[in-house]
Structures are given as C-alpha cells and as structure tokens.
Chains A and B, each alone.
Chain A
Amino acid sequence: MMCTPRTPRTRSIASIRSTPSTRSSVSTRSTRSKRNTFILGLLVALGIGASTAVAGGSKDFQPLVMSEKYRSECASCHLAYPPALLPLTSWRHLLGSLDKHYGVDASLEPAEVLEISKWLEPLAGTYKKVRAEPQEDRITKAAWFVREHREIEAEVWLRPSIKSAANCAACHTTAEQGNYNDNFVRIPK
C-alpha cells in the first residue's frame, strides 16, 4: 500500500505503546519478542502499518526522505532525531533559537534554517502522545519518553558509554536507521 511518512507509524506507535509489551523489561526479550510478533501480526491483520511491520521495527520513525541538510547540520552533534518525536511548535522554537541551543551555538544561515524547516515541519509529530510540547522542547522530557525509560536506573544514564539521555544510539543500536524497537536495545556497561 502507498503510505505517507507518518500515518502508518503514527498508528503503530499509538497501538504498541499502549500494549503490555512495552512494560516488560529489557531482560525478558524472548517473551517480549513473542508478544511483538503477535502484535505485529495483529497490525498486519488489521491492515495497519504494513510497511512498518515488514521492516521489523514496530518503532520505526525514519522519515522516508531524509534531508541531507538536517543530517549534516543537526546530526553532527547529536543523532538525527526523528521529526515525528516532537510537535511542530517545539520544532519551531528550536529552529528559531539555534544560536542558543541547549547551551551551544548551533546557528545556521537563514536560508539553511528555511531549508530544514520546510522538510521538517510537515513531518513533525501530530499523534496524541507527541502532540503536547515537552518541557524545554526536549524529547527526553516528554511523558511518553519518561514512561518508556522508567526502568532505566539513574546510574545507567550517567555511564561514560552513554553520557546522556539524548544519546539514543548508545543503547538503541539501530537508532541511526530510525528504529527504536526494543529488540535492538543493548545497554552498554
């Protein structure tokens, strides 16, 4: 089926996040895997998010077309965070204040900001869990993010191999590809 970048993913996120599968810990991988298989099967049966299910990533947020400007400018310092993980208002705040970007100067030429915003804004998150602006426009302050990571002890975030909750790829080994499925989580020592 033809699909837009967001619609199927939006549905799969909303469906899967509300299931018990996400409550299981990282250590119960086999149990969760069976549950995920069941859920993915269910989604396919319902005709929802087929492309997402085929990708094997129930939390696949990668935009179908990635902006090279976004990758080269934003992903130099941090992961190319999926646009769907913040609402439009948050993205606008961020793009309007790049000279004061969480303590660093990330300023760009106006034309570059415009190029990124044209690509990014239509991809911003609109589904229920992402609709509310998180505190400080941080993905890591969003209620869904905190809930998804509630089993991670404070000590784990501070490990030198992780450093920050913003460092998705430290544990989500397929984050660079936009895949945040629990099956690909490996928490480094």
Chain B
Amino acid sequence: MFKQNFQQLSLALVLCVAANAHAGDTTPAAQLQRFEAAAGRPASADNGRIFFTSTHGSKWTCASCHGDAPTKVSKHASTGKAIDPLAPAANPDAFTDTARADKWFRRNCKDVLSRECTAAEKSDVMAFLLALNP
C-alpha cells in the first residue's frame, strides 16, 4: 500500500513537472533579438556554426556535449548523460526561459572559452540554432 501510494505520488510529481515544462517566459526568437540588440549588430548563423563547433582554448567545443547536429539528443562529454537537442525546432523547451538560458550560457561558455560569451557570440549561436531543422 505504502509503495503504491508512493508510486502514485511519484507519477503525480512527474506529470506536474511535465505540465510545467513549457511554462517559460520567452521564445528563442526573442532571445536572438535580445542578444542582437545587446551586440548592436545582426547575428550570423554561419559564424554561429563555426563558433559552436570550434575549440576556444580548452579541449571542449559546444558540440562536445550538444553534438555537431544539435537537432538530436546528444551525450554529455564526460558523464554520457543524454542531453536534449538545443535546436528549438527539435526541442520546444529550448530557450523558453530567460534565466535558464543565461545560466547555461554563463556556465558552458566558461567550460569552453574560460570566460563568459559576448552578446555577439550568443546571438550568432542563437541564429545558428534557429536555422536548424530536425
């Protein structure tokens, strides 16, 4: 009985989380505009692709964890954990939460570039990701 109740509770929690998964405060296009405005120039998807797949002083690229084709589920470079696609066309949750987008750019840019990314770099990456189709 106890276990059954627990399972029901777990299911309720999972459903609750799933229901909130889309409860973001922004859209990927709005994020692109935000970074473009901060950079003061239009974004380049080509530059974003090169940036995404290049090393920048450390051993990892963005693609090390997100995959060269971020329209697919990829694997974390060190832990092997599955990572959902970054491309909005393949993942409706991607870049729908401003704080979350900022947090991951801050963390992951430090891992790849040993510094935070500039607004121009982030806008290029957003343009690259928005141009992808699954």
Q: How far is the CA of A167 from the CA of B13 in the complex (A)?
A: 24
Say which size band chain A's interface belongs to. Answer: 20 to 34
Q: In the complex, which residues 87-138 of chain A have their Cβ closer than 8 Å to any Cβ of chain B?
A: 102-107
| Contact residue among B3, B76, B80, B107 (Cβ-Cβ distance under 8 Å from A55) | B3
Instruction: Tell me if B80 and A104 are in contact (CB < 8 A).
Output: no
Determine the chain B residues whose CB is within 8 A of the CB of A163 once the complex forms.
75, 78-80
User: Per DSSP, are chain B's interface residues mostly helix, strand or loop, or mixed?
Assistant: helix
A166 touching B79, Cβ below 8 Å: yes
Q: Are A166 and B80 in contact (CB under 8 A)?
A: yes
A174, B17: Cα distance in complex, Å: 20
Which B residues, 111 to 125, have Cβ-Cβ distances below 8 Å to chain A? 111
B71 to chain A, nearest CB (A): 19
Residues of A within 8 A of B3 (CB): 51, 54-55
Asked if B41 lies at the interface with its beta carbon under 8 angstroms from chain A, I say: no
**Bound Cα distance A164, B76 (Å):** 10
Q: Which residue of A lies closest to B17 (CB)?
A: A68
The docked-state distance in angstroms from the alpha carbon of A154 to that of B17 is: 38
Chain B 83-120 near chain A by CB (<8 Å), digits 1 or 0: 10000000000000000000000111011000000000
A51-B2, A107-B107 given; A102·B78 CB < 8 A: yes
Which of B2, B6, B76, B79 neighbours the largest number of chain A CB atoms within 10 Å of its CB?
Answer: B79
A77 touches B76 (CB 8 A): yes
Could you give, for residues 52-73 of chain B, a 1 whenever the CB lies within 8 Å of some chain A CB and a 0 otherwise?
A: 0000000000000000000000
Which listed residue, A1, A75, A105, A164, touches B80 by the CB 8 Å rule? A164
Q: Are A164 and B17 in contact (CB under 8 A)?
A: no
A140 nearest CB across to chain B (Å): 11
Contact with B along A154-184 (1 / 0, CB 8 A): 0000000011101101100000000000000
| Chain A positions within 8 Å of B108 at CB level | 105
Q: For A167, give its contact among B2, B79, B106, B111 (CB under 8 Å).
A: B79
By a CB distance below 8 angstroms, the chain A residues around B81 are 75-79, 167, 169
Instruction: Kindly state the separation between the CA atoms of A55 and B2 in the bound complex, as whole angstroms.
Output: 10
Query: How far is A78 from B81 in the complex, measured between Cα atoms in Å?
Result: 5
- CA of A81 to CA of B62, assembled, Å: 25
| Residues of chain A contacted by B17 (CB below 8 angstroms) | 68, 71
Residue A42 at the B interface, CB < 8 A? no
A45 in contact (CB, < 8 A): no
Q: Are B76 and A105 in contact (CB under 8 A)?
A: no
| B→A interface (CB under 8 Å) | 2-3, 6, 13, 17, 75-76, 78-81, 83, 106-108, 110-111
26 contacting pairs across A/B (C-beta < 8 A) = A1-B2, A2-B2, A51-B2, A54-B2, A54-B3, A64-B6, A68-B17, A77-B81, A78-B79, A102-B78, A103-B78, A104-B107, A105-B107, A105-B108, A105-B110, A105-B111, A107-B107, A162-B80, A163-B78, A163-B79, A164-B80, A166-B78, A166-B80, A167-B79, A167-B80, A170-B80
